[in-house]
Structure 1
Amino acid sequence: MEKLKTLFLKYYEQIAYLFFGGVATLLNFVLLNVFQAVGGLAFAAGAGNVLNNAICILFAYWTNRTFVFKSKNHGAEALREFGKFVGCRIFTAVVDQLLMFLGVTVLGPGVTFVAPALWANLVKLFSQVVVIVSNYVFSKILIFKKKGSKT
Protein backbone atom coordinates (compact mmCIF):
# COMPACT_ATOMS: atom_id res chain seq x y z
CA MET A 1 0.00 0.00 0.00
CA GLU A 2 2.86 2.35 0.80
CA LYS A 3 4.40 1.74 -2.67
CA LEU A 4 1.08 2.60 -4.28
CA LYS A 5 0.86 5.82 -2.28
CA THR A 6 4.46 6.72 -3.25
CA LEU A 7 3.70 6.10 -6.94
CA PHE A 8 0.50 8.13 -6.71
CA LEU A 9 2.32 11.08 -5.14
CA LYS A 10 5.18 10.83 -7.63
CA TYR A 11 2.81 10.84 -10.62
CA TYR A 12 0.00 12.92 -9.10
CA GLU A 13 0.10 15.58 -11.80
CA GLN A 14 -0.17 13.09 -14.66
CA ILE A 15 -2.85 11.04 -12.88
CA ALA A 16 -4.88 14.16 -12.03
CA TYR A 17 -4.48 15.47 -15.59
CA LEU A 18 -5.73 12.17 -17.03
CA PHE A 19 -8.63 12.04 -14.57
CA PHE A 20 -9.81 15.62 -15.11
CA GLY A 21 -9.01 15.37 -18.82
CA GLY A 22 -11.26 12.31 -18.86
CA VAL A 23 -14.03 14.25 -17.14
CA ALA A 24 -13.61 17.12 -19.63
CA THR A 25 -13.65 14.62 -22.51
CA LEU A 26 -16.83 13.05 -21.12
CA LEU A 27 -18.37 16.52 -20.93
CA ASN A 28 -17.26 17.09 -24.54
CA PHE A 29 -18.98 13.87 -25.68
CA VAL A 30 -22.14 14.60 -23.68
CA LEU A 31 -22.37 18.06 -25.26
CA LEU A 32 -21.69 16.63 -28.74
CA ASN A 33 -24.57 14.19 -28.36
CA VAL A 34 -26.92 16.74 -26.77
CA PHE A 35 -26.19 19.15 -29.64
CA GLN A 36 -26.76 16.32 -32.16
CA ALA A 37 -30.13 15.52 -30.55
CA VAL A 38 -31.20 19.15 -30.38
CA GLY A 39 -29.76 20.66 -33.55
CA GLY A 40 -28.73 17.76 -35.77
CA LEU A 41 -25.38 16.43 -36.90
CA ALA A 42 -24.39 19.50 -38.95
CA PHE A 43 -24.99 21.82 -35.98
CA ALA A 44 -23.17 19.50 -33.54
CA ALA A 45 -20.10 19.30 -35.81
CA GLY A 46 -20.19 23.03 -36.60
CA ALA A 47 -21.46 25.82 -34.35
CA GLY A 48 -22.31 23.36 -31.58
CA ASN A 49 -18.70 22.16 -31.55
CA VAL A 50 -17.50 25.76 -31.10
CA LEU A 51 -19.86 26.21 -28.12
CA ASN A 52 -18.84 22.77 -26.84
CA ASN A 53 -15.16 23.78 -26.93
CA ALA A 54 -15.83 27.09 -25.14
CA ILE A 55 -17.62 25.32 -22.27
CA CYS A 56 -14.93 22.64 -22.03
CA ILE A 57 -12.11 25.23 -22.09
CA LEU A 58 -13.57 27.02 -19.05
CA PHE A 59 -14.11 23.73 -17.22
CA ALA A 60 -10.57 22.54 -18.06
CA TYR A 61 -8.98 25.81 -16.92
CA TRP A 62 -10.68 25.59 -13.55
CA THR A 63 -9.74 21.93 -13.00
CA ASN A 64 -6.17 22.31 -14.31
CA ARG A 65 -5.51 25.44 -12.26
CA THR A 66 -7.13 24.11 -9.09
CA PHE A 67 -6.47 20.38 -8.99
CA VAL A 68 -3.78 19.42 -11.52
CA PHE A 69 -1.10 22.09 -11.54
CA LYS A 70 -2.27 23.79 -8.30
CA SER A 71 -1.48 27.27 -9.53
CA LYS A 72 -1.07 29.92 -6.85
CA ASN A 73 -0.97 32.87 -9.28
CA HIS A 74 -3.17 35.86 -8.49
CA GLY A 75 -3.91 39.20 -10.12
CA ALA A 76 -1.99 40.01 -13.28
CA GLU A 77 -0.11 36.68 -13.18
CA ALA A 78 -3.37 34.73 -13.04
CA LEU A 79 -4.73 36.80 -15.94
CA ARG A 80 -1.62 36.04 -18.02
CA GLU A 81 -1.95 32.37 -17.12
CA PHE A 82 -5.62 32.39 -18.18
CA GLY A 83 -4.73 34.18 -21.43
CA LYS A 84 -2.06 31.61 -22.27
CA PHE A 85 -4.41 28.77 -21.37
CA VAL A 86 -7.23 30.11 -23.52
CA GLY A 87 -4.82 30.88 -26.40
CA CYS A 88 -3.45 27.35 -26.42
CA ARG A 89 -6.91 25.85 -26.02
CA ILE A 90 -8.25 27.96 -28.88
CA PHE A 91 -5.43 26.55 -31.01
CA THR A 92 -6.34 22.97 -30.09
CA ALA A 93 -10.05 23.80 -30.48
CA VAL A 94 -9.27 24.88 -34.05
CA VAL A 95 -7.47 21.56 -34.55
CA ASP A 96 -10.55 19.80 -33.11
CA GLN A 97 -12.86 21.80 -35.37
CA LEU A 98 -10.73 20.98 -38.42
CA LEU A 99 -10.68 17.26 -37.55
CA MET A 100 -14.46 17.27 -36.96
CA PHE A 101 -15.07 19.07 -40.26
CA LEU A 102 -12.81 16.73 -42.21
CA GLY A 103 -14.06 13.60 -40.45
CA VAL A 104 -17.79 14.33 -40.35
CA THR A 105 -18.44 16.66 -43.28
CA VAL A 106 -15.80 15.60 -45.81
CA LEU A 107 -15.24 11.90 -45.04
CA GLY A 108 -18.53 11.17 -43.25
CA PRO A 109 -20.82 10.92 -46.29
CA GLY A 110 -18.54 8.22 -47.76
CA VAL A 111 -18.57 6.15 -44.58
CA THR A 112 -21.21 3.46 -44.89
CA PHE A 113 -20.04 0.87 -42.35
CA VAL A 114 -21.34 2.78 -39.28
CA ALA A 115 -24.24 5.11 -38.54
CA PRO A 116 -23.47 8.83 -38.99
CA ALA A 117 -23.94 9.61 -35.27
CA LEU A 118 -21.52 6.82 -34.30
CA TRP A 119 -19.05 8.02 -36.93
CA ALA A 120 -19.18 11.53 -35.43
CA ASN A 121 -18.34 10.05 -32.03
CA LEU A 122 -15.42 8.05 -33.46
CA VAL A 123 -14.06 11.18 -35.16
CA LYS A 124 -14.47 13.07 -31.87
CA LEU A 125 -12.60 10.30 -30.02
CA PHE A 126 -9.66 10.54 -32.42
CA SER A 127 -9.71 14.32 -32.17
CA GLN A 128 -9.76 14.23 -28.37
CA VAL A 129 -6.65 12.04 -28.21
CA VAL A 130 -4.78 14.59 -30.34
CA VAL A 131 -6.17 17.49 -28.28
CA ILE A 132 -5.48 15.97 -24.84
CA VAL A 133 -1.85 15.19 -25.60
CA SER A 134 -1.30 18.65 -27.11
CA ASN A 135 -3.02 20.39 -24.19
CA TYR A 136 -0.90 18.59 -21.61
CA VAL A 137 2.30 19.61 -23.38
CA PHE A 138 1.12 23.23 -23.63
CA SER A 139 -0.02 23.29 -19.99
CA LYS A 140 3.18 21.76 -18.65
CA ILE A 141 5.63 23.78 -20.75
CA LEU A 142 3.91 27.12 -21.41
CA ILE A 143 1.09 27.78 -18.96
CA PHE A 144 1.45 26.33 -15.46
CA LYS A 145 5.22 26.56 -15.08
CA LYS A 146 6.37 26.35 -11.51
CA LYS A 147 8.32 29.37 -10.33
CA GLY A 148 12.04 28.69 -10.58
CA SER A 149 11.43 25.80 -12.97
CA LYS A 150 13.17 25.68 -16.34
CA THR A 151 10.24 23.81 -17.93
Structure 2
Amino acid sequence: MAKKDKDIFDRIMSAKIWGPLGPFYFKNKEVLLYLLFGGLTTVVSIASYYVAYKICGINVLIANIISWVFAVTFAYITNKIWVFDSETNNFKEVLGEIFKFYTGRLATLVVEEVIILVFDTLLHFNSMLVKLVAQIIVIVLNYIVSKLFVFKKKEA
Protein backbone atom coordinates (compact mmCIF):
# COMPACT_ATOMS: atom_id res chain seq x y z
CA MET A 1 0.00 0.00 0.00
CA ALA A 2 1.32 3.44 -0.92
CA LYS A 3 2.19 5.86 1.88
CA LYS A 4 -0.52 8.45 2.42
CA ASP A 5 0.14 12.12 1.76
CA LYS A 6 1.07 14.21 4.75
CA ASP A 7 -1.91 15.56 6.65
CA ILE A 8 -2.23 19.21 7.61
CA PHE A 9 -0.49 18.69 10.95
CA ASP A 10 2.46 16.93 9.27
CA ARG A 11 2.79 19.79 6.80
CA ILE A 12 2.70 22.39 9.58
CA MET A 13 5.24 20.55 11.73
CA SER A 14 7.55 19.99 8.72
CA ALA A 15 8.13 23.75 8.47
CA LYS A 16 11.64 24.79 9.43
CA ILE A 17 10.34 27.31 11.97
CA TRP A 18 9.56 24.44 14.35
CA GLY A 19 13.20 23.34 14.51
CA PRO A 20 13.65 20.52 17.04
CA LEU A 21 9.92 20.34 17.75
CA GLY A 22 9.32 18.74 14.34
CA PRO A 23 11.12 15.44 15.12
CA PHE A 24 9.48 15.37 18.57
CA TYR A 25 6.07 15.78 16.92
CA PHE A 26 6.65 13.00 14.38
CA LYS A 27 7.94 10.64 17.08
CA ASN A 28 4.90 11.33 19.33
CA LYS A 29 2.30 12.31 16.74
CA GLU A 30 -0.51 10.00 17.84
CA VAL A 31 -0.37 10.96 21.51
CA LEU A 32 0.07 14.68 20.76
CA LEU A 33 -2.89 14.73 18.36
CA TYR A 34 -4.94 12.68 20.82
CA LEU A 35 -4.22 15.24 23.52
CA LEU A 36 -5.06 18.11 21.17
CA PHE A 37 -8.35 16.58 20.04
CA GLY A 38 -9.05 15.23 23.53
CA GLY A 39 -8.73 18.80 24.78
CA LEU A 40 -11.03 20.07 22.04
CA THR A 41 -13.48 17.25 22.78
CA THR A 42 -13.42 18.37 26.42
CA VAL A 43 -14.27 21.91 25.30
CA VAL A 44 -17.17 20.58 23.22
CA SER A 45 -18.34 18.46 26.17
CA ILE A 46 -18.10 21.19 28.79
CA ALA A 47 -19.62 23.86 26.54
CA SER A 48 -22.60 21.69 25.60
CA TYR A 49 -22.96 20.59 29.24
CA TYR A 50 -22.94 24.24 30.36
CA VAL A 51 -25.61 25.17 27.81
CA ALA A 52 -27.82 22.21 28.72
CA TYR A 53 -27.39 22.41 32.50
CA LYS A 54 -26.83 26.08 33.30
CA ILE A 55 -28.71 27.83 30.49
CA CYS A 56 -31.50 25.37 29.67
CA GLY A 57 -31.89 24.07 33.25
CA ILE A 58 -31.78 20.40 32.28
CA ASN A 59 -31.08 17.84 35.02
CA VAL A 60 -27.33 17.43 35.62
CA LEU A 61 -27.21 13.76 34.56
CA ILE A 62 -29.29 14.32 31.42
CA ALA A 63 -27.21 17.39 30.55
CA ASN A 64 -24.14 15.18 30.81
CA ILE A 65 -25.62 12.66 28.37
CA ILE A 66 -26.43 15.46 25.91
CA SER A 67 -22.86 16.74 26.17
CA TRP A 68 -21.63 13.17 25.68
CA VAL A 69 -23.45 12.84 22.33
CA PHE A 70 -21.87 16.05 21.02
CA ALA A 71 -18.41 15.20 22.33
CA VAL A 72 -18.36 11.58 21.12
CA THR A 73 -19.44 12.54 17.63
CA PHE A 74 -16.68 15.17 17.47
CA ALA A 75 -14.15 12.71 18.92
CA TYR A 76 -15.00 9.90 16.48
CA ILE A 77 -14.50 12.12 13.45
CA THR A 78 -11.22 13.64 14.66
CA ASN A 79 -9.84 10.34 16.00
CA LYS A 80 -10.64 8.48 12.79
CA ILE A 81 -9.16 11.09 10.48
CA TRP A 82 -6.15 12.51 12.33
CA VAL A 83 -5.28 10.67 15.53
CA PHE A 84 -5.40 7.02 14.53
CA ASP A 85 -5.45 7.54 10.73
CA SER A 86 -8.03 4.78 10.43
CA GLU A 87 -8.70 3.32 7.02
CA THR A 88 -11.96 1.54 6.32
CA ASN A 89 -12.71 -0.12 3.00
CA ASN A 90 -16.49 -0.20 2.99
CA PHE A 91 -19.61 0.95 4.77
CA LYS A 92 -19.78 -2.22 6.87
CA GLU A 93 -16.28 -1.55 8.26
CA VAL A 94 -17.23 2.06 9.04
CA LEU A 95 -20.37 0.93 10.88
CA GLY A 96 -18.35 -1.64 12.84
CA GLU A 97 -15.82 1.00 13.79
CA ILE A 98 -18.54 3.46 14.82
CA PHE A 99 -20.24 0.75 16.89
CA LYS A 100 -17.00 -0.11 18.73
CA PHE A 101 -16.19 3.58 19.25
CA TYR A 102 -19.59 4.49 20.68
CA THR A 103 -19.71 1.30 22.78
CA GLY A 104 -16.32 2.14 24.29
CA ARG A 105 -17.41 5.69 24.92
CA LEU A 106 -20.64 4.43 26.45
CA ALA A 107 -18.59 2.44 28.96
CA THR A 108 -16.62 5.54 29.92
CA LEU A 109 -19.85 7.54 30.08
CA VAL A 110 -20.98 5.17 32.83
CA VAL A 111 -17.74 5.94 34.70
CA GLU A 112 -18.35 9.67 34.21
CA GLU A 113 -21.99 9.47 35.29
CA VAL A 114 -20.98 7.65 38.49
CA ILE A 115 -18.38 10.34 39.24
CA ILE A 116 -20.98 13.08 38.70
CA LEU A 117 -23.65 11.23 40.68
CA VAL A 118 -21.36 10.73 43.66
CA PHE A 119 -19.48 14.04 43.75
CA ASP A 120 -22.13 16.43 42.46
CA THR A 121 -25.51 14.96 43.31
CA LEU A 122 -24.66 13.17 46.56
CA LEU A 123 -21.70 15.13 47.95
CA HIS A 124 -22.62 18.53 46.42
CA PHE A 125 -19.17 19.42 45.08
CA ASN A 126 -18.98 22.18 42.44
CA SER A 127 -20.65 20.80 39.30
CA MET A 128 -18.27 22.34 36.79
CA LEU A 129 -15.19 21.22 38.74
CA VAL A 130 -16.54 17.68 39.01
CA LYS A 131 -17.24 17.68 35.26
CA LEU A 132 -13.67 18.84 34.52
CA VAL A 133 -12.05 16.17 36.72
CA ALA A 134 -14.34 13.51 35.26
CA GLN A 135 -13.28 14.60 31.77
CA ILE A 136 -9.60 14.10 32.55
CA ILE A 137 -10.26 10.56 33.77
CA VAL A 138 -12.43 9.84 30.74
CA ILE A 139 -9.81 11.14 28.26
CA VAL A 140 -7.25 8.64 29.56
CA LEU A 141 -9.74 5.76 29.52
CA ASN A 142 -10.94 6.69 26.03
CA TYR A 143 -7.40 6.65 24.62
CA ILE A 144 -6.84 3.15 25.96
CA VAL A 145 -10.14 1.89 24.54
CA SER A 146 -9.57 3.55 21.14
CA LYS A 147 -5.99 2.35 20.81
CA LEU A 148 -6.61 -1.24 21.90
CA PHE A 149 -10.11 -1.99 20.61
CA VAL A 150 -11.43 0.50 18.05
CA PHE A 151 -8.64 1.75 15.80
CA LYS A 152 -6.31 -1.25 15.91
CA LYS A 153 -3.92 -1.31 12.98
CA LYS A 154 -4.82 -4.08 10.55
CA GLU A 155 -2.36 -6.92 10.19
CA ALA A 156 -0.54 -6.74 6.85
Contact 1:100 1:127 in 2 (8 A): yes
Aligned to 2:64: 49
Aligned to 2:10: none
Task: List gaps (5 residues or longer) in structure 2.
Answer: 1-17
CA-CA distance at 1:146 after TM superposition: 0.8
Residue 99, structure 1, aligned to residue 115, structure 2: yes
Aligned to 1:131: 138
CA-CA distance at 1:3 after TM superposition: 3.0
Aligned to 2:87: 72
Contact 1:33 1:44 in 2 (8 A): no
CA-CA distance at 1:2 after TM superposition: 4.3
Aligned to 1:85: 101
Per-residue displacement from partner, 1:73-125 (whole Å, max 9, x unpaired)?
132222111110000001111111111111111000xx5xxxxxxx1111011
TM-score of the superposed pair, with normalisation by structure 2? 0.82
C-alpha distance 44-12 of structure 1, shift in aligned 2 (>3 A): farther
**Secondary structure at 1:142 match in 2:** helix
> Which amino acid in the other structure matches residue 106 of structure 1?
L
Aligned to 2:25: 8
TM-score of the superposed pair, with normalisation by structure 1? 0.85
Point out which structure has higher relative CO (alpha carbons under 8 A, 6+ apart).
1
Per-residue displacement from partner, 1:1-55 (whole Å, max 9, x unpaired)?
5432111011010000000000010111111211233233xx3522111111111
**Root-mean-square deviation (Å):** 1.5
> Which amino acid in the other structure matches residue 46 of structure 1?
L
Aligned to 2:7: none
Give aligned pairs, total.
Answer: 138
5 Å matches for 1:33-44? 33-40=50-57, 43-44=58-59
Task: List gaps (5 residues or longer) in structure 1.
Answer: 112-118
